Amino acid sequence: MSTSNPLAELLAGDALAHWSAMLHALPIPAAIVDAQGKVVEANRWLETDPGDRLIAPSAERVAPGLAFGADSDTRWRVRPLDQDAVVLLATGEREDAGDHLLRKFFSSGDSLFVVYDQFGRVIESNAAWENLLGYGRDELFGLDSWTLLPPTDTETRPQVEADLRAYGRSEPEFMMRRKDGSYRVVRWALHFDTTVGRCFGIGRDVTEEGRANAELERRAYTDELTGLANRARFLQELDTWLAGDHTPAVMFCDLDHFKVINDSLGHQAGDELLARLGRRLDHLAVTRDSLVARLGGDEFVVLLGDADVNRAVAAAKETLDAMTVPFDIAGRAIHVSMSIGIAVATEAGLSTSSALLGEADTAAYEAKSLGRGGWVVFDEELRAAVDRRFNVEAGLRHALKHDGFEVHYQPVVSLDDESIIGVEALLRWRSPDGVLLGPGAFLDVAEEVGLLPEIGRLVLADATNLGAKLADAGLDIDVSVNVTAQDLLEPTFARRSLNMLESAGMRPDQMLVEITELAVLSTTAAVPVLEELRAAGVRIGLDDFGTGFSSLAHLRELPIDVVKVDRSFVAELDTDPVTRSVTEALLGLCDALALDVILEGIETEEHAQAVRDLGGRSAQGFLFHRPMSRATFSKLVGLNQHQQRAA
């Protein structure tokens, strides 16, 4: 290169030295020419005499893809360097990586392009990269690019340099500091050319993409109402603790009677209560270093890392104490309590997150059944109960599919002559080991897993069939069936039951539907359902009267026709004067209200005589008849004989 050339002298200065460095860094033919089209500097890929005239000065010399010279197939990319119309020319026909990078480098798109020397110093960049960082070209030239990383980022540089040494390429994603001090996240594709000792980078600003992903991740792992972790986040964290050498504990916190609060104050107030409850749980001293999450509804969980039973119990007690302070919701002081279940991983690495959470949930359920507002630790006794429920549920589902249920019948007699005037359908389950079990052995599980309505339909179908046959035989015997609260929650229960009666050919007035006070009072839908049945002629019986919420007022307010007095009254009639007086008053009241009375649990002659002395007319108990199979009952009342005579 001629030293007398003014442009060459200019290129030797600091201001344009980076253009020369760029020229020799490119792995493709390239040259710098002056305004007259003479080559002042060329890289080793371009074989030309510096005096050769490559392009004549013209306005078109800055147009990309300009064809010139003797070889019409040669194409050049032209880029202005300064006001003196100095241009950089490079061939564009070679389809190698270097040519591709060059064409990308000089594109006008949004991609970021930069060239570093072997020490990481910037020797060339495009406008997109300069605009992103807010620096001018002169400010970036010669800048150590690693100084743009956050001071706390001590891992990116050694990893990138190791990749470039080993593979010649790296695809990192890291934060870069802008001139104003803010940071952007850039994803790079870096290629190091050992031939020229230069690193070429193509980048993309993914800051907003990262923010969007962070927001998606936040939503995926956060409960929107409370701002706490959600179930997915909780299980993820619990999995991490269980995978290590840790024995974490889970506190399952279930709010007591939240439905009452929600229904009385409204859902908005209910949501506010849950949000405040979540904040209170998260700010307790015992949960300061723990993860608090909301599973949904009114269920919260706390993850205690490396906690034994004693620490978990202490945490539960502190949590319950915190609930004694009322919440101010809509100007009202709301007092709440919760039932807490505790489960502790017995040995590191053996428990699973879903199993441990399930154990804590089971313990909370047990705490509710014991009276609410307390805590229960999941132990082997509870585990046995869980195993029983699991086995019973599996057996019940199998029985539904394979006719494993039987309906037995216990007669109701007239105390005048002990003749049979009614019969109660009673459910029995023949378990997988062949044992015939009464409702007490499985009804709680059936109710818990929602099988009662389906099982009830089986009982009703058998009872209506029997009732129709009794009527056809001319036998004046009513048939009663027990109905649960779950049955009354079904909007179509009354209509479906009446359809079954009609389909079987049984008159509605032969049917007695028995329901407990607790079942009636547990749902507002109960009374309309009972009234619909009663309007069709079905009689309604109040079962187990004298237990639970029994109230004399209910005898007048509820749509009932029959009162069945609980066996606990009968058992003390001949020994307790108070019980005798109460029973006598009850019989008198029912008589005044035109209600029939059936006294249950008559097991001795003394019981029977005591009931007769008080004016009782109908009774049921082992003294007269035990529950029996349908075949035995049919034989007892001579149903087959009646049917044969009718035939």
Rounded alpha-carbon distances, angstroms, from residue 434 to 291, 384, 387, 431 = 48, 21, 19, 5
pLDDT of residue 11: 46
Burial class (CB in 10 A: 0-12, 13-18, 19+), 431: middle
pLDDT of residue 642: 62
Q: Is the pLDDT of residue 77 over 70?
A: no
Boundaries of domain holding 234 = 222-378
Tokens at residue 382, please? 């509870």
Q: Is the pLDDT of residue 3 over 70?
A: no
Q: Is the pLDDT of residue 110 over 80?
A: no
Average pLDDT, stretch 385-397?
A: 86
Residue of 104 and 66 predicted with greater confidence: 104
pLDDT of residue 562: 94
Average pLDDT, stretch 498-525?
A: 88
pLDDT of residue 469: 94
Domain-located, residue 389: no
User: 261: domain CATH number?
Assistant: 3.30.70.270
Domain-located, residue 394: no
User: 35: domain CATH number?
Assistant: 3.30.450.20
Q: How far apart are CA 358 and CA 238, in angstroms?
A: 13
**Residue written as tokens 């510096």?**
50
> Of all residues in the chain, what percent carry a pLDDT higher than 70?
79
Average pLDDT, stretch 139-145?
A: 82
Same domain, 155 and 234: no
User: Tens digit of pLDDT for each residue in 536-588?
Assistant: 999 999 998 877 555 677 788 888 999 999 888 888 887 888 888 888 888 99
Tokens at residue 507, please? 């008159």
380 by DSSP, 3-state: which?
helix
Burial 134-156 (b: 16+ CB within 10 A, else e): ebeeeebbebebeebbeeeeeeb
Burial 279-289 (b: 16+ CB within 10 A, else e): ebbbebebbee
Same domain, 363 and 512: no
Same domain, 413 and 441: yes
Average pLDDT, stretch 196-217?
A: 76
Q: How wide is the angle at C-alpha 224 spanned by C-alphas 222 and 229, nearest 5°?
A: 25
pLDDT of residue 144: 87
Same domain, 535 and 443: yes
Tokens at residue 72, please? 């019409």
Lowest model confidence (mean pLDDT) among 171-180, 267-276, 637-646: 637-646
Q: Is the pLDDT of residue 256 over 70?
A: yes
Residue 80 CB coordination number (10 Å): 12
Domain-located, residue 217: no
Measuring CA to CA, which residue among 566, 563, 501, 565 is closest to residue 532? 501
Mean pLDDT rounded to a whole number for the chain = 80
Q: Is the pLDDT of residue 85 over 60?
A: no
Domain-located, residue 429: yes
Q: Is the pLDDT of residue 54 over 60?
A: no
Q: Report yes or no: 327 and 334 within 8 Å, Cβ to Cβ.
A: yes
Same domain, 257 and 185: no
pLDDT of residue 83: 46
Q: Is the pLDDT of residue 611 over 70?
A: yes
> Of all residues in the chain, what percent carry a pLDDT higher than 90?
28
pLDDT of residue 531: 93
Residues whose CB is less than 8 angstroms from the CB of residue 308 and which lie 6 or more positions away in sequence, other chains included: 247, 249, 344
Question: 508 falls in which pLDDT band (50, 70, 90)?
Answer: very high
Same domain, 312 and 425: no
Same domain, 345 and 410: no
User: Tens digit of pLDDT for each residue in 295-312?
Assistant: 988 899 999 988 889 989
Q: How far apart are CA 571 and CA 556, in angstroms?
A: 26
Domain boundary among 147, 174, 207: 207
Residues whose CB is less than 8 angstroms from the CB of residue 626 and which lie 6 or more positions away in sequence, other chains included: 410
Average pLDDT, stretch 232-241?
A: 89
What interhelical angle do 452-472 and 493-504 show, nearest 10?
Answer: 30
Same domain, 133 and 246: no
pLDDT of residue 130: 86
Residue of 290 and 466 predicted with greater confidence: 466
pLDDT of residue 206: 84
pLDDT of residue 347: 65
Cα dihedral value 331, 337, 341, 344, nearest 10: 70
Domain-located, residue 1: no
- Phi-psi label, residue 513: left if phi above 0, alpha if psi -120 to 50, beta otherwise: beta
pLDDT of residue 534: 94
Domain-located, residue 68: yes
pLDDT of residue 36: 61
pTM above 0.85, yes or no: no
Domain boundary among 378, 395, 428: 378
Say which amino acid occupies 614.
Answer: L
Same domain, 483 and 530: yes
Q: Is the pLDDT of residue 635 over 70?
A: yes
> How many domains, in total, are found in the chain?
3
Same domain, 268 and 296: yes
pLDDT of residue 45: 62
Q: Is the pLDDT of residue 155 over 60?
A: yes
Burial class (CB in 10 A: 0-12, 13-18, 19+), 578: exposed
Domain-located, residue 393: no
Residue of 510 and 351 predicted with greater confidence: 510
Q: Is the pLDDT of residue 32 over 80?
A: no
Domain-located, residue 383: no
pLDDT of residue 64: 38
pLDDT of residue 37: 63
Question: 471 falls in which pLDDT band (50, 70, 90)?
Answer: very high
Residue of 346 and 241 predicted with greater confidence: 241
Same domain, 460 and 369: no
The listed range with the strongest mean pLDDT (6-15, 193-202, 494-503) is 494-503
Q: Is the pLDDT of residue 137 over 80?
A: no
pLDDT of residue 342: 93
Residue 254 pairs with which residues in a beta bridge? Answer: 299, 339
Residue of 98 and 121 predicted with greater confidence: 121
> Where are the extended beta strands (E) located within 127-245?
169-170, 173-177, 183-193, 198-205
Residue of 61 and 399 predicted with greater confidence: 399
Same domain, 332 and 463: no
Residue of 607 and 260 predicted with greater confidence: 607
Domain boundary among 378, 411, 435: 378
